[in-house]
Amino acid sequence: MPHAEITTLATLREAEAGCTRCPLYRNATQVVPGEGPSRAKVMFVGEQPGNDEDLAGKPFVGPAGRVLDRAIAEAGLDRTTIFVTNAVKHFKFEPRGKRRLHKKPNTYEIDRCRWWLEHERAIVKPELIVALGATAARSLFERPVVIARVRGNVVEREDGTRLLVTIHPSYLLRIVDARDKAAEYRRFVSDLKICAETLANAA
Ligand code: URA
């Protein structure tokens, strides 16, 4: 149940800045709130901020964000109209020398951070939510989800929320073989085209 005093993105940001709901706030530089129009028709949910996002305080501004931006544009969508956020709002990492290596959030952290995602959903009220990867899908479905089984299909939950699951763009960055990479990128763009078509049909 969302907090009664958090009714705007501004009040939400303020509340998120003081988040201590799980231990991740201790080592991160700052919380990374969702970003985009408060009346966006579509919300994209990633996993958690990466190194660049942690430093900038903004979601998807690093390498995965650049892949996402390119795919969004190729799918005929406009990022400035999308509310972009993450399932987990603080960067989880392991120090390795001078570098900070990304560590996957665990179920406890995802569950504790759903509180913020629920506020974002209650304020923005998107027609469609796109889950980018397994962590986002885990948060939105409240259970583990096998991406390969559900990707590319718009599913409606009991509360009427429409969800579309696809891969996380950082998966594309990890593919070494150029042909595989290109094929997977095209599949990602196709999934985002389904998002564009769903929004166009709802208009
Ligand atoms: N990966 C994510 O899941 N979110 C970001 O904001 C950046 C990278």
Q: Is residue 4 part of a domain?
A: no
Residue 65 CA to ligand 1 center (angstroms) comes to: 7
Give the model's pLDDT for residue 196: 98
Residue 87 CA to ligand 1 center (angstroms) comes to: 9
pTM for the whole structure: 0.97
What's the domain range around 185? 9-202
Q: Is residue 138 part of a domain?
A: yes
Distance CA 142, CA 112 (A): 12
Residue 43 CA to ligand 1 center (angstroms) comes to: 14
Q: CB–CB of 138/114 below 8 Å?
A: no
Q: Is residue 2 part of a domain?
A: no
Residue 169 CA to ligand 1 center (angstroms) comes to: 9
Q: Is residue 109 part of a domain?
A: yes
Task: State which H helix or E strand residue 164 sits in.
Answer: strand 162-166
Pocket of ligand 1 (CB under 6 A): 46-50, 53, 59-60, 62, 64-65, 86, 170
* Number of separate domains in the chain: 1
- CATH number for the domain that contains residue 137: 3.40.470.10
The atom number, within ligand 1, closest to the CA of 60 reads 6
pLDDT in tens, the chain (203 residues): 567 799 999 999 999 999 999 999 999 999 999 999 999 999 999 999 999 999 999 999 999 999 999 999 999 999 999 999 999 999 999 999 999 999 999 999 999 999 999 999 999 999 999 999 999 999 999 999 999 999 999 999 888 889 999 999 999 999 999 999 999 999 999 999 999 999 999 87
Give the model's pLDDT for residue 18: 97
The atom number, within ligand 1, closest to the CA of 136 reads 3
Give the model's pLDDT for residue 160: 87
